[in-house]
Amino acid sequence: MTQREVDPATRAVRFSCTATDLARTRTALRSKAAGELDSAALRDAWLQLHGRWLTAKATEIGIVAHSGFAIVATGSLGRCELLPQSDLDLLLLHDGKPPDAVEEVAALLWYPLWDAGVRLDHSVRTVAEAIEVAGADLLADLGMLDARHIAGDERLSAQLVRDVRNQWRYGIRSRYWELIEMTHARWKRSGEVAHRVEPDLKCGRGGLRDVQLLDALAIAQLADRAAVGRAGNRAGSVDAAYLRMLDVRTELHRVSGRGHDLLMAQYADEIGAALGIGDRYDLARSLSDAARTISYRVDAGLRIAANALPRRGISVVRPRLRRPLDDGVVAHAGEVVLARDARPERDPGLVLRVAAAAARTGLPIASTTLSRLANDLPDLPAPWPREALDDLLVLLCAGPAMVTTIEALDRSGLWGRLFPEWAMIRDLPPRDPVHIWTVDRHLIETAARAEAFTTQVARPDLLVLAALLHDIGKGSGGDHSLIGAQLVARIGTRLGLWPCDTAMLSALVTHHLLLSKVVTRHDLNDPDVIAGVAAALGGDVVLLEVLHALTEVDALATGPEAWNGWKASLVADLVRRCRLVMAGEPLPQADPIDARYVTLAKAREVHVELHRDAGGRSYRVVMIAPEQRGLLSKAAGVLALNSLRVHAATVDSRHGAAIAEFVVSPHFGSAPAAQLVCEQFSLALADGIDIHTGLRRRQDQRRRISSGEVPAGVPVSGPTAPPRILWVEGTPGRPIIEVRAADSPGLLARLAAALERAGADIVWAKVTTRGSTVDDVFCVVLAASADRKMVERHLLTALG
């Protein structure tokens, strides 16, 4: 640091405090920090730099002891957590000095900071004025709770700290619910750190602000942050989680060069490497664990504070009744607690009775109860007693209420003792952008949704268990369905299931993706396809029934793009056909085409119909025309030119005419009139308009927008994952091609045209869109001159 050669005893006083020196030292520190300082050391160096500069500047301009002026830090400087891109939050206190004198001192303090490029949040007040502002503004009040003396008249700083904290402590009764409302609004605005792809480290649920909220409750003597942090210790203390979050935010400031609070994906790999965590997925897992620890502790702290609040003051306290819920379990003060005569050290099943009671009633489990169970409870014997399995099923059949209950068990280390296999998937981030939850949370959400289907299946117990465990094999490096089936076989034995039930549970995990894959990759009119599914399930109608429900709840818990009416109808149709085969009845042939469409096909004229589905944004489009090569690509191209996104497509023929049916939705607004689409389709078939040239122009324009060559009308981003082409053996002579790629306007038209150019006639096609990715499946007949490598080259060219 820049300083004069002086006696060490006076170094603090004679530290150089010009704006130029401050700016130069900030720049040097940022440059040095690029590799030599870890996160904690960087924060400490940044704190020391500004603390020493402010102290020296205060001495220079006469802000000293008994001067009637004091410099007080709030915010990150007040908490001693100053980051490289943080603002300085400073309050200049005075004891009622004349306005001219105050303005002069303030100018001497603020202007050098501005000249040095420091972002400053500043104010000038007396202690009484500051207390008045805190009393009127909750955010200001919370900020002043971090107040720390920097320089000058320490009596003023001490008076401010004392008066602010006293006002907060004695006024919390009237401000508590405003604090809760503000906190929930912040959570709703910023989302959960644990489950956001780009989390808000500061304001998100489970972020830094939440720990500061715990500190504010501790100052109000409503909740002890240290005690809350010790209530179960699987994920570590609040302090450890807070430090992890702070280190990540420090590195985000360093890497981005800006005061970001949003952890953008582009910085994640570098931050993970700098902290020695790993890549972006390892960083996401570490952050999820820390955020969930903070979230759980904050929830516990808020409950403790709410229970403590009525006891403040001189109001009469009435005894709260203890309502029995189960053997050794009671409800007290809005929480589930242990009965006075409960002996967890001799009752390993008590944890599941507590959990079942909490989920059934919707009440949270008290932190002290969780702590006692975690410390005193022995492990359940293997196999579990039947009562323990029954309590687990009660918990899993409680619906959404079970989510917070299992989260509490997991944060306190109890869930991992019941299911040691959970460690592999805990906080594991998804690799597929369709998933909105971490893997462990996805399983819990799936089980919660399965409750609504328990009256529709013969084995609801196996449904909820399969929902909870179907992805348990993820994170192990192989086929998660097969690995999961092996793990579930061991888990089922440990839970005390009958061997036949364990086998069915294992089969459900093995085949939990079977129905979804078949309906998107195969022709349901092919008898061999239906027979193959029936054989894979061993002809077991009950297994098929439960698998049907599991398929739906798994998709519903994946994300909003994973399930829709079209996919539900396909899966239901597949299950219907499989059930007929399993029952020994003849497999029906292809569903008949609407007789009206067959009549229209006889006319061998171009015809288009467009109908909106009731209660949704999707439309069903029917396009009929004389058969010709390239008809599917031209039909799809016309839809793309009208900004209609294709979700499904089927093609059949009658009387020499093709009948193509599409399920589409407009990107914006409403669909065009059927007459307009019909005119464009007719022109395209007659080569009156070049559909594919028009689509290429639009694609080129999007590329220019993304590269900055033309002004951007809408955000444009390119795909991050490379496309993939898979071949699946269908019926003889009809191979199936699966194309996985990022979605883009006109993609189906381009792929269909590429197949036609490669000499592949399309028999049928199925289109599945999941968020920003597509899974397009084509059943084709290859010409004698065509081979698979040629087809792949054409498809890759179409994909760009």
Backbone phi, then psi, for 236, in 5-degree steps? 90, 180
Give mean pLDDT, residues 419-425: 94
Whether residue 118 is contained in a domain is answered as yes
Is residue 390 in some structural domain?
no
pLDDT in tens, 394-421: 899 888 889 999 999 998 899 999 999 9
**Phi, psi angles (nearest 5°) of residue 330:** -135, 160
The pLDDT value recorded for residue 711 is: 39
Compute the average pLDDT of residues 474-493: 92
Indicate if the pLDDT at residue 710 is higher than 50: no
CA geometry: angle at 646 spanning 640 and 647, to 5°? 170
User: Are 506 and 607 contained in the same domain?
Assistant: no
Do residues 385 and 353 lie in contact, with contact meaning Cβ atoms separated by under 8 Å?
no
Residue ending a domain, among 551, 582, 613, is: 582
Q: Domain with 251 in it: what CATH number?
A: 1.20.120.330
Given a contact cutoff of 8 angstroms between Cβ atoms, the answer to whether 375 and 339 are in contact is: no
**pLDDT tens-digit series, residues 202-233:** 999 999 999 999 999 999 888 776 554 444 44
For the stretch 523-572, pLDDT in tens is 888 888 899 999 999 999 999 999 999 999 999 998 877 787 778 888 99
402 falls within a domain? no
Q: Give pLDDT, residue 235.
A: 44
More confident site: 583 or 159: 159
pLDDT for res 12? 37
Q: Indicate the average pLDDT of the chain.
A: 84
For residues 574 and 762, the model is more confident at 574
Mean of pLDDT values over 74-102: 91
- pLDDT bin (cut points 50, 70, 90) of residue 27 is confident
Pairing verdict, β 120-125 and 88-94: parallel
Do 162 and 244 sit in the same domain of this protein?
no
315, pLDDT greater than 50:
no
- CA-wise closest residue to 538 among 513, 568, 508: 508
Is 179 among the domain residues?
A: no
Where would I find the H helices in 145-223?
154-190, 208-219
- Asked whether residue 667 falls in the same domain as residue 555, the answer is no
Flag whether 520 is in a domain.
yes
Where is average pLDDT lowest: 352-366, 486-500, 519-533? 519-533
Q: Give the pLDDT of residue 667.
A: 65
Domain count, the chain: 4
Write down which residue in 171, 205, 235 finishes a domain.
171
What pLDDT sits at residue 764? 74
Co-location of 754 and 610 in the same domain: yes
pLDDT of 484 > 90? The answer is yes
φ, ψ of residue 703 to 5 degrees: the values are -65, -40
Q: Residue 781: what pLDDT?
A: 87
**pLDDT by residue (tens digit) across 620-641?**
899 999 988 888 889 989 998 8
- Contact (CB, 8 A) for 683 and 691: no
Q: Is the peptide bond before 364 cis (omega within 30 degrees of 0)?
A: no
Residues 688, 549 share a domain: no
240-260 mean pLDDT: 89
Range of the domain at 423: 419-582
634 and 774 fall within a common domain: yes
Asked if residue 773 lies in contact with residue 433, where contact means CB atoms within 8 angstroms, the answer is yes
**Does 111 map to a domain?**
yes
Angle, alpha carbons 295-301-306 (nearest 5°): 130
**Section 73-84 average pLDDT:** 91
Angle (CA) 46 51 52, round 5°:
105
Q: Which residues contact 584 (CB under 8 A, 6 or more apart)?
A: none
CATH number at residue 87: 3.30.460.10
Q: What is the pLDDT of residue 736?
A: 85
Residues 531 and 419 sit within 8 Å (Cβ to Cβ): no
Residue 10 has pLDDT above 60, yes or no: no
Candidates 629, 623, 601; CA nearest to 676 is 623
pLDDT attached to residue 522 = 85
| pLDDT over 70, % of the chain | 89
Maximum pairwise Cα distance, the chain: 104
Distant-in-sequence, close-in-space partners of 360: CB < 8 Å, separation ≥ 6:
325, 394, 398, 401
**Same domain as 131, residue 160:** yes
What is the reported pLDDT for 534? 93
* Residue 235 domain-assigned (yes or no): yes
